[in-house]
Amino acid sequence: MRTRLSAVAALAITVGMLAACGSDDEQPDQGATGSEVSGSITVLTQRTDIVDSVFKKQYLPRFNQKYPGVTVKFEAITDYEGEVRIRMNTKDYGDVLLIPNSVTADQLPTFFEPLGTLDELRPKYRFTTEQAYQGKVYGIAITGNAQGILYNKKVFQQAGVTEMPKTPDEFLAALKLVKEKTSAIPLYTNYAAGWPLTQWEGMRGGITNDPEAVNKLAHLDAPWAPGAEHFTIDSLLYNVVKQGLVEKDPTTTDWEQSKSMLAKGEIATMVLGSWAIIQMQEKATDKADIGYMPIPVAVGGTYYSVTGGDYKNAININSKNKAAARAWLDWFANESNYAFDQGGLPPLKSGRMPQQLVDFQKLGVEFMELNPAPSGEEGLVQRIDAEAEIGLWEPKYRQRIVDAARGAGKETLEQIFADLNARWAKARAETT
């Protein structure tokens, strides 16, 4: 999803559109007391949908009970990645903010205050290695996600699908049954919105049970060669479209409408992170209709789901009220209950696991985290990706695959893969 032109000139679209409401069930933090912290801070958030209802009316009063001397101003930004990356060319980008996806690991010390060392924070929080550099942590996840596929259970029952697919071919067969026996769209691409297609990238690592999957990309000249993870992922996307198992006109898809459509059984499946489960459930008459299945590739008979942190809260290194900023960051991570309320994996290791992943537990899905880049290679895969102008976390290259499959492009899948491999190899040679 990115082409870097400067330190923060790239845009990545790993969007977490989540719904939440606060409660007070997680462990309190052990930070400074309210009498020791004061000042005014600005908190940037992508949650335009709940900033007035949840952040201001629920979180802020609870936070101020503990820190009455801290004044918090929330700034909700619709185009979070685009606007914040521009603001980061100045010193004015809030006091607490979500680290944009365009920031590479080696850039973290330039923009953010270190929160502690990996040794200090890893025992308490998940996903700490995702925003760390040279042993220091710069961001704490607001929630965590597992990778899988949203589906409507009633539609699968009507189609006669009784077992979860364990291979891409079995998944295609299940979608064909949906098309033959129901009126539902087997799989909805959300092509027009763009960013939902980036969710397919979350499959990497899980389909091989390899925590080094992403790091290995820095040492591969042909990530789209037969047998490679991207070959498997993108071939599945192509085949689903080619076989007519998606919406009639992908260019007219509607993200907001698709949530209600899946909830009502008008759509059977959508490839999305676990963050989306609760949004579909909120649209459903019966929450039990909404299921979550693993990626249809079982390794040795076992499903694996890559887990990772969503956006990470961080402190602007230029903030004039770092103590107040840290108070908010710690309180949000430890006491807001944001992750649980929206069905996410809790960054706080002592936090409660979400009910939304019960289906995974029944299937014996094993969670895995990807390993951070080795020393000296931090941000290398992202730099190769940028140099190749592919955009692994951008929608354009998978929209290209969808276009080819639906006949809107003149390329074959083989031609697309050959081009992607050639560009990757060239970029790797020039970057490493």
**pLDDT tens for residues 169-224?**
999 999 999 999 999 999 999 999 999 999 999 999 999 999 999 999 999 999 99
Average of per-residue pLDDT across 9-20:
32
**Three-state DSSP class for residue 397:** helix
- For position 33, what pLDDT does the model report? 56
Does residue 427 sit within a domain?
yes
Q: pLDDT digits over 91-106, tens only?
A: 999 999 999 988 988 8
> Of residues 24 and 363, which shows the higher confidence score?
363
430 or 354: whose pLDDT is higher? Answer: 430
Please report the pLDDT score of residue 13 as a whole number: 29
Residue 247 lies in a domain: yes
Under the banding of pLDDT at 50, 70 and 90, the label for residue 29 is: very low
Domain count, the chain: 2
My answer on whether 270 and 415 are in the same domain is: yes
Q: What is the residue range of 319's domain?
A: 34-143+310-353
**Predicted local distance difference test score (pLDDT) of residue 14:** 33
Q: 263 and 244, same structural domain?
A: yes
| pLDDT score of 35 | 64
More confident site: 108 or 13 = 108
User: What pLDDT, on a 0 to 100 scale, did the predictor assign at position 214?
Assistant: 96
The SS3 call for residue 42 is strand
Same domain, 91 and 184: no
Residue 4: name the closest of 376, 308, 310, 394 by CA.
Answer: 394
Name the more confident of 23 and 357: 357
Over residues 281-301, mean pLDDT? 95
- d(CA 60, CA 306) in angstroms, rounded, equals 33
3-state class (DSSP) for residue 352: coil
**pLDDT exceeds cutoff 90 at 18:** no
Percent of the chain whose predicted confidence (pLDDT) is above 90: 81
Percent of the chain with pLDDT over 70: 92
At 79 the pLDDT is 87
Is residue 4 one of the residues assigned to a domain? no
User: Are 127 and 248 members of one domain?
Assistant: no
Same-domain check for residues 173 and 256: yes
Residue 178 zone, left/alpha/beta (φ > 0; ψ -120 to 50; rest) = alpha
**Pair (73, 136) in one structural domain:** yes
- Evaluate whether residue 80 is within a structural domain: yes
Dump pLDDT digits (tens) for 53-85.
999 999 999 999 999 999 999 999 988 988 999
* pLDDT on residue 34: 63
Distance in angstroms (rounded) separating the CA atoms of residues 174 and 306: 23
Is residue 14 assigned to a domain? Answer: no
User: What's the rounded Cα separation, in Å, for the pair 168 and 183?
Assistant: 22
Mean pLDDT, rounded, of the chain: 90
CA distances from 16 to 168, 243, 332 (A): 26, 30, 17
pLDDT of residue 406 exceeding 70: yes
pLDDT at 237 over 80: yes
Kindly list the distances between the CA atom of residue 376 and the CA atoms of 108, 220, 391, in Å, as whole numbers in the listed order: 15, 17, 22
**Within this chain, do residues 42 and 73 fall inside the same structural domain, yes or no?**
yes
- Token pair recorded at residue 185: 């769209």
Check residue 17 and report its DSSP letter.
-
Task: Convert the pLDDT of each residue in 325-366 to its tens digit.
Answer: 999 999 999 999 999 888 889 999 999 888 888 889 899 999
Confidence grade of residue 375 (pLDDT, cut at 50, 70, 90): confident
- Same domain for 139 and 177? no
Q: What is the pLDDT of residues 32-60, one digit of tens each?
A: 556 689 999 999 999 998 999 999 999 99
Q: What is the pLDDT of residue 284?
A: 96
CA 300, distance to chain mean position in Å, is 26
Residues 6+ apart with CB under 8 A from 74: 42, 43, 45, 51, 55, 56, 60
Q: 233 and 339 share a domain?
A: no
> Domain of 319: which CATH number?
3.40.190.10
Residues 418 and 391 in one domain: yes
Same domain as 335, residue 287:
no
Q: pLDDT value at position 307?
A: 93
Does a structural domain hold residue 6?
Answer: no
Residues 267 and 370 in one domain: yes
- Residue 354, CA distances (Å) to 118, 195, 395 in order: 25, 25, 29
Judge whether 18 lies within some domain.
no
The answer, yes or no, to whether residue 420 has pLDDT greater than 70, is: yes
Q: Dump pLDDT digits (tens) for 246-259.
A: 999 999 999 999 99
Average pLDDT over residues 309-316: 96
